[in-house]
Amino acid sequence: MEQVPRGEQISNARKKLNLTQAELADKCKVDIRTIQRIERGEVTPRFYTLRIINSVLGTNVVLQNASNFGDGKVKKYRAMYARRKKFRIATFISALFLLIAVALLAFPSWVLFGMQKQVWAPFLYFVMLSHIIGIALTWRCPACNSLLGDVFSTQYCSKCGIKLVD
């Protein structure tokens, strides 16, 4: 059995509800050009966009790659996501402590281990920068390596659609 392309599924569902592309775009709060390109198959829409379109049309259009992951892979990705989240939180907390230390030690006359501020302050700034880079590098989807949204409450990858939290 041949599967109907995703764009054609959306177009058919939209026409059943007697909606124009502009009306669908307005209800979904996306640009009309986005709807046009999705329906023509020019782009692969993000999971988040498909969820919005599905809710507006009341359909269940094939959701990107979410169903392509095997159950074992999903468990592996969720475990990797959980480990990365713990690392991000620990790194974030240590970065806050470093920021407080820099703020407290910001007085020009402070001497640390016999060194003037001009010597040790750049080191602390470098360590803080490395913390920020560490958080940024681990804030990616383990399945498709795309950047995720909200640092503390993301549940789905907007690109591949994998559910990261049970």
Question: pLDDT tens digits for 22-76?
Answer: 999 999 888 999 999 998 988 878 777 888 888 888 877 655 445 556 667 778 8
Identify which has the larger pLDDT, 136 or 14: 14
* Same domain, yes or no: 81 and 39: no
CA dist 97 → 65, 94, 115, 118, 148 (Å) = 40, 5, 21, 20, 25
Buried b (16+ CB within 10 A) or exposed e, 90-128: ebeeebeebeeeeeeeeeeeeeeeeeebeebbeebeeeb
pLDDT tens digits, 85-136: 888 888 888 888 877 777 666 665 666 666 666 676 677 778 778 877 777 7
Both tokens assigned to 74: 């999903």
The domain spanning residue 18 has which CATH number?
1.10.260.40
Q: Say if residue 116 is in the same domain as residue 144.
A: yes
State which of 46, 64, 82 marks the end of a domain.
64
Residue 1: pLDDT band with limits 50, 70, 90 = very low
pLDDT of residue 18: 92
Helix H or strand E encompassing 134: helix 117-138
Q: What is the pLDDT of residue 33?
A: 93
User: 107: which residues sit within 8 A by CB, 6+ positions away?
Assistant: 117
Please, which pLDDT band fits residue 141 given cuts at 50, 70 and 90? Answer: confident
Q: Does the global pTM surpass 0.75?
A: no
Give yes or no: residues 59 and 70 share one domain: no
| Stretch 145-152: mean pLDDT | 70
Higher pLDDT, 77 or 66: 77
